[in-house]
Structure 1
């Protein structure tokens, strides 16, 4: 039950109880006042009748001496020598008695049924019922309106907070909920914005530190490579050169990840015909890979970034999978598959993460950056990168770090579980449901048997020329002469 209906129900219950209590109080007070007034009127009549009886020995207004119907409580009260009144309850209007003792020991009494006053009480009860119902209905309507407004503000705040969590740094929760109403929702929105700004500042500081460190390492690493070239030939020299080259590649990858974490990356859009572009790049990177073009497509994208993604995915498949490595162009979808044991379920669940690999190899050949770079480049292109496992029948099992295991179908055969016992999850937010290690130079070896690892890149018709959060400004679009 939403907050709107909880608030409405609470106000309805309180309104009902309050109106019921007020109605009972008003009814009781009015009835008591009418009874007291009837007693006074009857007592005045009795006094008049008593004076007439004393002077004429006749009792007007239907008064009687020693009336056999005189109620016992009234008779006992009169026997004490005092004038008294008594209200006798009946099915209809009450009967009001008045009695007074006479000098000879008899009792003069007068009774009257107040039919004129009793309908007034019934009319009052009807008015109280109508007024109470109107008040309850009005309170419920007001509660629904207020609860709806509060619910909408909270939903807008939740939606804006979700956009901030997804990386939309320009979104402000306070602006989304509207700052005109100063209430707890506005305070909550301000606190969330302050927290988001603080986290964004910390992340930006970490990114700058990482980029600065990598940038400062460029010069000494370049000097190290130059010095290694001057060493005499031999096995030790080859090892030094290999490690120095690995260090240089790591520095370049760290710089690229830092750039992708920022908001200034833009896609340099060109018209690319995938049926021609992909086979050429695949042959240049992995000559033994099998390329299939089931459906050609032309898209506006950044060929340099697309080539970078393909290179990382192909290198990852060649390093940790088994041949043949297959590349399929299916319209705007590019699929890279190897026939190795596939991705471990734990890595599928966590997603790509820098400096964390699934490999137990500590030789320095993997640093957890390859798939991180591929996912970041896919985000810049506005593409979706999904990684999952395939068995021999084509069933898939992929991981989504935001949900963990689930039964969301993968893109091949919806609804079928993978052979590694995990459910299908297709990560479609640009980060991929990949293993949390690197790509071509970073991923650890798979640890489970399966039908192979599949990396699927789904390109949009037109990639965004500017990432979210950047100032407006066009990027010129040119044609790639190789794909024209």
Structure 2
């Protein structure tokens, strides 16, 4: 349920409760007052008419006397009944007199009661008349008066109460809509700004209106965003400086490394003629120079990816031939399943780098036999490199393509640069492909490379 709907429902519930409480209480009080006043007036009027007949004779009245009494107290709109000693007379239907009212009048008190009659509501008033000296007589008088006008007034009050309640509900809903709009607009602006911030737009800000709690939230958000923008800017500047430093150092190292490589190649050719310790030192220098050259080349390649200058040199190639050449040139002893006739448009140099890094990693850190398989699935080129080693620990899998990541923190250094798998992953991404690391059910690591056959970017 949205916040707008909750606000509207809350205002509607509050307005309904308020309308029921105010209108209902007003209606009940007004209805009771109208009914009470009508009953009091009817009782007073009937009492006055009866008092005009006093004093009554002491002798019991006959039927004619009762008819005369009923006619005197009935009035123009009502009907009356006078009775004594079982004799009754008048225009009123005796059946409307309830036993409760008869019992009350028989006890000498004035009573009244509303009763339904003839499709309407009537007020029946009854009392016992007195004879000379104030003693109660046997004559009971009942007067029936229409109560329709009072009922109409009460009905009109009920309609007015409903109308007032409905108008109050509409007004409350309108106020709720305006309030929700005023409250939710800053919330929506904050949501949009937070989304923009999450998408990398660090310049996203929220307009600050007023001095309420929402304005305080907007101010805090803007302050946080400004601080984040500043810190991210500093981090980006430091990262750019670090990348530039690595690129500069790598390029500067290439010239002395070229000279060192030339010297070590000469030494390597003469190692057989050198005495024991000198030969070992020459071989060590040659090997370490090659490792340093490989590290510098990998660093230069990484800086190209980071700067966005890495580009594909696409060509229509036989994939099996490219992979076979990679394995043959590096002397990798693996089991290869490379069906012929699989052609794709890709960068053969970068595919060579990917396969060489994957197979070299499997041979260094896995266990033989290492297998390389080529297939086509769902218009994608699929190359799988698997080994028979212990596999990759679960905590290593999320970081296997991270730069300079070492699964064994106790291992100070390795033959590789620590960038091989990262460069393979970047080359796969450059082809709009994927490179995934996993463990085989039977043991061993499995790297799966997927590249589009068309080489679209």
TM-score by length of 1: 0.58
Q: Which residue of 1 aligns with 2:392?
A: 343
Deviation of 1:36 after TM superposition, in Å, equals 1.7
Distance in 1 between the 2:175 and 2:298 partners? 63
Q: Which of 356, 363, 370 is the aligned partner of 2:420?
A: 370
Which secondary structure state, in structure 1, belongs to the residue aligned with residue 388 of structure 2?
Answer: coil
Please give the per-residue CA displacement for 1:141-169, whole angstroms capped at 9, x wherever unaligned. 9999999999999998898777x4xxxx6
Deviation of 1:33 after TM superposition, in Å, equals 1.4
Which secondary structure state, in structure 2, belongs to the residue aligned with residue 327 of structure 1?
Answer: strand
Which secondary structure state, in structure 2, belongs to the residue aligned with residue 346 of structure 1?
Answer: coil
Deviation of 1:319 after TM superposition, in Å, equals 1.6
- Is the Cα–Cα contact under 8 Å of residues 228 and 241 in structure 1 kept in the other structure? yes
Q: Which of 10, 20, 26 is the aligned partner of 1:23?
A: 20
Q: Which of 301, 306, 309 is the aligned partner of 2:346?
A: 301
Q: CA separation of 1:302/1:283 partners in 2, compared to 1, >3 Å: closer, same or farther?
A: same
Question: Does residue 281 of structure 2 align to residue 236 of structure 1?
Answer: yes
Q: Greater relative contact order: 1 or 2 (C-alpha under 8 angstroms, separation 6 or more)?
A: 1
Q: Which residue of 2 aligns with 1:310?
A: 355
Deviation of 1:384 after TM superposition, in Å, equals 0.9
Deviation of 1:298 after TM superposition, in Å, equals 3.3
Which secondary structure state, in structure 2, belongs to the residue aligned with residue 12 of structure 1?
Answer: helix
Q: Which residue of 2 aligns with 1:256?
A: 301
Question: Does residue 15 of structure 2 align to residue 35 of structure 1?
Answer: no
- Is the Cα–Cα contact under 8 Å of residues 261 and 376 in structure 1 kept in the other structure? no
Which secondary structure state, in structure 1, belongs to the residue aligned with residue 240 of structure 2?
Answer: helix
Distance in 2 between the 1:86 and 1:388 partners? 96
Which secondary structure state, in structure 1, belongs to the residue aligned with residue 325 of structure 2?
Answer: helix
> Which moved further from structure 2: 198-207 or 128-137?
128-137
- Is the Cα–Cα contact under 8 Å of residues 355 and 369 in structure 1 kept in the other structure? yes
Q: CA separation of 1:87/1:23 partners in 2, compared to 1, >3 Å: closer, same or farther?
A: farther
Please give the per-residue CA displacement for 1:34-69, whole angstroms capped at 9, x wherever unaligned. 32233344445556556655656643456899x994
Q: Which residue of 2 aligns with 1:475?
A: none
Distance in 2 between the 1:156 and 1:463 partners? 37
Distance in 1 between the 2:123 and 2:15 partners? 33
Which secondary structure state, in structure 2, belongs to the residue aligned with residue 342 of structure 1?
Answer: coil
Q: Which residue of 2 aligns with 1:323?
A: 368
Which secondary structure state, in structure 1, belongs to the residue aligned with residue 405 of structure 2?
Answer: coil
> Which moved further from structure 2: 111-120 or 350-359?
111-120
Q: Which of 429, 435, 445 is the aligned partner of 1:453?
A: 445
- Is the Cα–Cα contact under 8 Å of residues 390 and 453 in structure 1 kept in the other structure? yes
Q: Which of 402, 422, 429 is the aligned partner of 1:353?
A: 402
Matches within 5 A, 1:9-88: 11-12=8-9, 15-16=12-13, 18-44=15-41, 58-59=72-73, 60=75, 61=78, 69=101
> Which moved further from structure 2: 256-265 or 56-65?
56-65
Q: Which residue of 2 aligns with 1:387?
A: 437
- Is the Cα–Cα contact under 8 Å of residues 157 and 173 in structure 1 kept in the other structure? no
- Is the Cα–Cα contact under 8 Å of residues 386 and 456 in structure 1 kept in the other structure? yes
Structure with the higher fraction of residues in strand conformation: 2
Larger Rg: 2
Distance in 1 between the 2:284 and 2:263 partners? 14
Q: CA separation of 1:386/1:14 partners in 2, compared to 1, >3 Å: closer, same or farther?
A: same
Distance in 1 between the 2:322 and 2:257 partners? 37
Structure 1 gap ranges (5+): 80-84, 393-449, 466-484
Deviation of 1:456 after TM superposition, in Å, equals 0.7
Count of aligned pairs between the two proteins:
384
Distance in 2 between the 1:294 and 1:105 partners? 132
Distance in 2 between the 1:454 and 1:249 partners? 25
TM-score by length of 2: 0.61
Which secondary structure state, in structure 1, belongs to the residue aligned with residue 395 of structure 2?
Answer: helix
Q: Which residue of 1 aligns with 2:61?
A: none
Matches within 5 A, 1:84-95: none
Please give the per-residue CA displacement for 1:431-455, whole angstroms capped at 9, x wherever unaligned. xxxxxxxxxxxxxxxxxxx3x2211
Q: CA separation of 1:270/1:150 partners in 2, compared to 1, >3 Å: closer, same or farther?
A: farther
Structure with the higher fraction of residues in helix conformation: 2
Deviation of 1:459 after TM superposition, in Å, equals 0.7
Please give the per-residue CA displacement for 1:229-288, whole angstroms capped at 9, x wherever unaligned. 669872334434443443343333233333323445443433333233322233223443
Q: Which of 116, 119, 130 is the aligned partner of 2:152?
A: 116
Distance in 1 between the 2:155 and 2:174 partners? 28
